[in-house]
Amino acid sequence: MPYLKRNAPCPEPLDCRILTAALDLFVENGYHNVSVHEVQKRAQVSIGSIYNHFGGKEGIAHALYEHLLNELDELIDGVVTTVASPSAQCREIIRQLFEHTETHRNIIAFLFHAKHTEFLREETLICDARPFVRIRSIVADAMEKGEFKKTDPWVATSAMFGGAIRMIQLRLDGLLDKPLPEYFEAVIEAAWSGVAENSDHQLETNSGVAAQRATG
Amino acid sequence: MPYLKRNAPCPEPLDCRILTAALDLFVENGYHNVSVHEVQKRAQVSIGSIYNHFGGKEGIAHALYEHLLNELDELIDGVVTTVASPSAQCREIIRQLFEHTETHRNIIAFLFHAKHTEFLREETLICDARPFVRIRSIVADAMEKGEFKKTDPWVATSAMFGGAIRMIQLRLDGLLDKPLPEYFEAVIEAAWSGVAENSDHQLETNSGVAAQRATG
DNA sequence: GTCTATATCCAGATAGAC
DNA sequence: GTCTATCTGGATATAGAC
């Protein structure tokens, strides 16, 4: 299964087949337009197995959602531990999201493009999920440290990430011809101007970023 | 029916009841979680009438989509004719969207929050719909006139509107306590810094805006 | 044009053999 | 644990009276 990272191999190959098939179908057709039978067919698994493993269609969606949120959380972990300054962390998170949009399209589409509340009613809103809370705290950190100018945290986070998320959606919708990384510098520059403490101060490309880019 | 503007009264009161009921239900529960019977019940209309008028559930969604896109287009018309400079037009569009998010919540939610391709398969992608194309052309205009710095049009549009759209979504999801207009100036300031030609140049509040605000 | 009652279909879920 | 065959509910859509 093409998860965000490869360091956590799928525990059960059968679960894995089911989840990958479901992810692809959900993204292609939308959750409600996919039947359990289609998942079963594409995953080459019997319908009984699906109910044994996940308890039904919603169970699949739930497992998928949990899993991918975890992966996203680990991505942020990686950035936070390898990059020092909060503002550079923001930059690196966007860079990796852009990259993943090209390499693991459906994962990003499922996380950023789907309306999860329409099929996971009691699930916490994705904006309240852990990765997104952490991103907000990184932005708050950047404001405290004087890297971002002090303003409403919601406004700052939206200013820093709103443009990038918009670009991701446009790319997923097929409106951008070039791969996202080619827009990266321009997107960062615009976002940065909106949040930086003094507009002359350039966003430093943290050395940790360069190191990770070389090894990754 | 609480359309964006009141100057175009609903032609058929019965159609109107059906569409309003459908809009509310679609936004509250999601298109796929709403049955025709529920619409029928809330609109106080028989099922037969719904099929006579709209030909079914998808017909309702289609009519709704067309209608609300038109209203949005008229909103942009209003801005373009009353506000002179493209950059001030951007500002005013965002201001009005923020306002409408408070006063006509479900309309904005349906337009900005729903995944229309999941139930209107052959409909053009919303980013390709007329209002959004026009917004991009306004941004392009601003770049030509030297109000915005020249960069990729997609990046510029995302930078200008991405943060605002993000804020709208956060508000719709109930994460912002205060009404959107209270965040307006901060949102505009951040977006503006990202796209403006020279960062010192302040976005002028066009006189046309003030006039319209007084009369509207 | 509008309504009620009904038909048809298909999705999600289960039962029970293996 | 895995499979096939089956059940059931509820949705869309229609038929036909008024």
8 Å CB contact of A115 and B117: no
8 Å CB contact of A191 and B159: yes
Phi, psi (deg, nearest 5) at residue B196: -65, 150
Q: State the nucleotide closest to B40 in CA–C1' terms.
A: C3
What are the residues of chain B with a beta carbon less than 8 Å away from any beta carbon of chain A?
29-30, 32-33, 113-115, 117-119, 125, 127-128, 151-152, 154-156, 158-159, 161-167, 169-170, 173-176, 183, 186-187, 189-195, 199
Euclidean distance between CA atoms A210 and B177, whole angstroms: 39
* Residue B56, in any domain of the structure: no
Q: What was the pLDDT predicted at A209?
A: 43
Of the given ranges (A166-175, B4-13, B73-82, B112-121), which has the lowest mean pLDDT? B4-13
8 Å CB contact of A115 and B115: yes
Euclidean distance between CA atoms B145 and B164, whole angstroms: 23
Q: What was the pLDDT predicted at B204?
A: 52
Q: What is the mean pLDDT of residues B90-108?
A: 98
8 Å CB contact of A176 and B161: no
* Residue A205, in any domain of the structure: yes
Q: How many domains does chain B have?
A: 1
Q: State the nucleotide closest to A46 in CA–C1' terms.
A: D3
* Residue B53, in any domain of the structure: no
Q: What was the pLDDT predicted at B12?
A: 72
Confidence of residue B147 (pLDDT cuts 50, 70, 90): very high
Tens-digit pLDDT string for chain A (216 aa): 556 654 455 667 788 999 999 999 999 999 999 999 999 999 999 999 999 999 999 999 999 999 999 999 999 999 999 999 999 999 999 999 999 999 999 999 999 988 999 999 888 899 999 999 999 999 999 999 999 999 999 999 999 999 999 999 999 999 999 999 999 999 999 999 999 987 554 555 544 444 444 443
Confidence of residue B10 (pLDDT cuts 50, 70, 90): low
Distance from CA of B76 to the nearest CA of A (A): 20
| Neighbouring residues of A105: CB distance < 8 A, sequence distance ≥ 6 | A27, A172
Q: What was the pLDDT predicted at A210?
A: 41
Q: What was the pLDDT predicted at B210?
A: 41
Euclidean distance between CA atoms A204 and A209, whole angstroms: 10
* Residue B62, in any domain of the structure: no
Is B35 (CB) below 7 Å from strand C? no
Q: What was the pLDDT predicted at A3?
A: 63
pLDDT of B216 over the 60 cut:
no
Q: How much is the pTM?
A: 0.92
Nearest to B163 among A162, A167, A189 (CB): A162
DSSP string, A152-182: -HHHHHHHHHHHHHHHHHHHHTT--SS-GGG
B119: which 2 tokens? Answer: 């139930």
A–B CB contacts, 8 A cutoff, strictly below: 130
**CATH code of the domain containing A112:** 1.10.357.10
A196: nearest Cα among A159, A163, A165 = A159
Sign of CA dihedral B151, B152, B153, B156: negative
Q: What was the pLDDT predicted at A207?
A: 41
Q: What is the CA B174 to C1' D9 distance in angstroms? A: 34
8 Å CB contact of B194 and A199: no
What domain range includes position A101?
A: 69-215
* Residue A61, in any domain of the structure: no
Using an 8 Å Cβ cutoff, are A147 and A197 in contact?
yes
Residue bearing the bigger pLDDT, B9 or B156: B156
* Residue B130, in any domain of the structure: yes
* Residue A108, in any domain of the structure: yes
Residues of chain B with pLDDT > 70, as a percent, come to: 87
* Residue B24, in any domain of the structure: no
Confidence of residue B211 (pLDDT cuts 50, 70, 90): very low
8 Å CB contact of B173 and A199: no
Confidence of residue B206 (pLDDT cuts 50, 70, 90): very low
Q: What was the pLDDT predicted at A138?
A: 98
Is B33 (CB) below 7 Å from strand C? no
Residues 16-55 of A with CB under 7 A from strand C: 34-37, 47-48, 51
Q: What is the mean pLDDT of residues B93-113?
A: 97
Residues of chain B with pLDDT > 90, as a percent, come to: 80
